[in-house]
């Protein structure tokens, strides 16, 4: 075990050093979370003093890192780097229990590290890595029949991101004592929920639960549903999972038939049912895809199957090369710093508002001010709140600059009318390869 663990830790350290050396701003929701976590305090709480449409544990974690290391882009990204690395380690440890041997567990971990989803998102602080780490730690303890600690870890995972709830049936299948796991999981989830409800009130429910259900399941998106948010990776994970399903059925391996089938069910359910898709929703199945890759590779002696599995991995990297380059190449994100510098040099003591990812980074990195508490809520939440109310706030607070991205704001007739009435296009920035363009509007009055 130790030689595999040593190689894994060494690999993760090298990856972490590269990520730290290469740290730079990217077009990502993490910018919003960094800003909100920086301003978190007993007198400035989520749900009460500013809107936050996710469970709160992520903000608490980032805030702790900021207090230890200072509020910076690197400190924020360290959360993702550390928890994604810990996820790999627990993937290996859990794999040892599932496979009963080190080699297959190590192969699963290598697949996890090499697959483009980890390369792209391994340092993106989206709350998902913390949730996946606690989910895998729960799975590991469950296989070790430590139901109390497993249930606690699982419940913590849920309050980083609610998507981990969907993996309860899979964990339950692997539980030797299902009654205990159900009881303790219900107990801890209920306890955490009521503690949060006590501190944050009904707004915690309306913002992080009611809105999420309404938005993801019923609210029609402003634009077309972006299926490529899943298919860019799903066209590789689905065939791999299907291969594992066939092999496990052929070999009567119920354990991997369940893992592969449930992963397919999870991915296709989200793909078909959710009104809005995002790449990171599908990171949850990556550990199980990694287990399936290793199982299929070593269980089937067929050279054709092994070459096919390796080909899937290689083609996934080739297919996602542009995305890898977009997120890892510092040169591709220079426009973000150019926008931040331009706004900082022109705004004085006034406020900015607009597309939340870029506005949050500008405010966070240059210590500026934004309008009210409309940072985390994206346009779907503004629509959910009522666009007219948001515009009333904008008319009152009069931001000097409004930043739009690819006509994100003006796709709404109400916001477009407001901008046309009070603002003029001042400057344009962009990243042509990724077809991302930012339009800076300056107040006329």
Q: Is 321 left (phi over 0), alpha (psi -120 to 50) or beta?
A: alpha
* 92 SS3 class: helix
* 400 in Cβ contact with 351 (< 8 Å): yes
Cβ atoms 418, 394 nearer than 8 A: yes
pLDDT tens digit string along 114-136?
Answer: 999 999 999 999 999 999 999 99
What pLDDT does residue 70 have?
Answer: 95
Q: What is the pLDDT of residue 376?
A: 47
415 pLDDT tier (thresholds 50, 70, 90): confident
- CA-nearest of 123, 128, 49 to 85 is 123
Number of helical (H) and strand (E) elements in the chain, helices listed first: 22, 5
Mean pLDDT calculated for residue range 249-260: 96
Residues 174/142, Cβ–Cβ less than 8 Å: yes
pLDDT confidence of residue 407:
78
pLDDT at 222: 63
Q: What's residue 385's pLDDT?
A: 65
Q: Which two tokens stand for residue 366?
A: 């240059």
Question: For residue 157, is pLDDT > 50?
Answer: yes
Report pLDDT for 414: 85
Residue-level pLDDT at 373: 57
Overall pTM > 0.85: yes
The separation between the first and the last C-alpha atoms of the chain, rounded to the nearest angstrom, is: 68
Share of the chain above pLDDT 90, in %: 74
Domain ranges across the chain? 2-327, 331-443
From 142-151, 287-296, 366-375, the region with the lowest mean pLDDT: 366-375
The 10s digit of each residue's pLDDT in 131-140 is 999 999 999 9
Least confident of 53-62, 216-225, 250-259, 351-360: 216-225
d(CA 151, CA 184): 6
Q: What gap in Å lies between CA 175 and CA 30, rounded to an integer?
A: 34
pLDDT in tens, 198-218: 999 999 999 899 888 877 777
d(CA 121, CA 115): 10
Residue 174 CB coordination number (10 Å): 16
In this prediction, residues 46-63 reach a mean pLDDT of 93
Q: What is the mean pLDDT of residues 29-42?
A: 92
Among 38-47, 78-87, 345-354, name the most confident range.
Answer: 78-87
Judged against a pLDDT cut of 90, whether residue 384 lies above it is answered with no
Angle at 32 between CA 365 and CA 425, to 5 degrees: 75
Residue-wise pLDDT for 293-307, tens only, equals 999 999 988 899 999
Closest CA to 244 of 285, 207, 203, 280: 285
Per-residue pLDDT tens over the stretch 417-439: 999 999 999 999 987 776 788 99
**Residue 377 scores a pLDDT above 50:** no
Rounded distance between C-alpha atoms, residue 392 and residue 410, angstroms:
17
**Among the listed residues 126, 131, 141, the one whose alpha carbon sits nearest the alpha carbon of residue 166:** 131
């Amino acid at each position: 075990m130790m030689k595999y663990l040593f190689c894994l830790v060494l690999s993760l350290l090298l990856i972490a050093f590269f990520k730290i050396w290469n740290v730079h701003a990217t077009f990502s929701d993490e910018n919003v979370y960094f800003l909100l976590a920086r301003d978190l305090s007993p007198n400035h709480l989520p749900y009460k003093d500013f809107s936050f449409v996710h469970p709160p544990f992520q903000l608490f974690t980032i805030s702790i890192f900021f207090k230890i290391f200072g509020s910076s882009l690197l400190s924020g990204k360290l959360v993702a780097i550390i928890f994604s690395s810990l996820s790999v380690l627990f993937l290996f440890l859990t794999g040892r229990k599932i496979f009963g041997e080190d080699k297959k567990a190590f192969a699963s971990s290598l697949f996890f590290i090499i697959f483009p989803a980890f390369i792209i998102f391994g340092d993106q602080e989206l709350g998902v890595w913390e949730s996946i780490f606690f989910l895998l730690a729960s799975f590991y303890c469950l296989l070790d029949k430590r139901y109390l600690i497993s249930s606690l870890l699982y419940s913590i995972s849920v309050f980083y991101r609610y998507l981990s709830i969907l993996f309860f049936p899979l964990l339950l299948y692997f539980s030797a004592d299902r009654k205990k796991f159900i009881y303790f999981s219900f107990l801890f989830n209920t306890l955490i929920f009521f503690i949060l409800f006590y501190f944050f009130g009904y707004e915690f429910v309306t913002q992080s639960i009611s809105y999420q259900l309404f938005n993801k399941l019923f609210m029609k998106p402003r634009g077309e549903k972006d299926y490529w948010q899943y298919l860019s990776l799903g066209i590789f994970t689905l065939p791999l999972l299907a291969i594992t399903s066939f092999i496990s059925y052929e070999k009567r391996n119920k354990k991997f038939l369940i893992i592969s089938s449930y992963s397919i069910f999870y991915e296709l359910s989200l793909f078909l049912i959710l009104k809005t898709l995002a790449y990171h929703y599908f990171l949850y199945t990556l550990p199980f895809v990694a287990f399936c890759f290793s199982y299929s590779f070593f269980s089937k002696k067929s050279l054709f199957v092994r070459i096919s599995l390796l080909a899937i991995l290689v083609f996934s990297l080739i297919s996602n090369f542009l995305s890898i380059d977009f997120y890892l190449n510092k040169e591709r994100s220079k426009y973000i710093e150019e926008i931040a510098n331009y706004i900082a040099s022109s705004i004085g003591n006034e406020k900015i508002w607009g597309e939340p990812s870029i506005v949050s980074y500008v405010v966070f990195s240059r210590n500026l001010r934004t309008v009210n508490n409309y940072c985390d809520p994206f346009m779907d939440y503004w629509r959910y709140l009522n666009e007219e109310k948001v515009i009333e706030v904008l008319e009152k607070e009069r931001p000097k600059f409004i930043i739009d991205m690819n006509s994100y704001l003006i796709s709404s007739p109400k916001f477009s009318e407001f901008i046309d009435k009070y603002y003029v296009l001042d400057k344009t920035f962009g990243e042509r390869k990724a077809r991302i363009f930012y339009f800076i509007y300056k107040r006329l009055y």
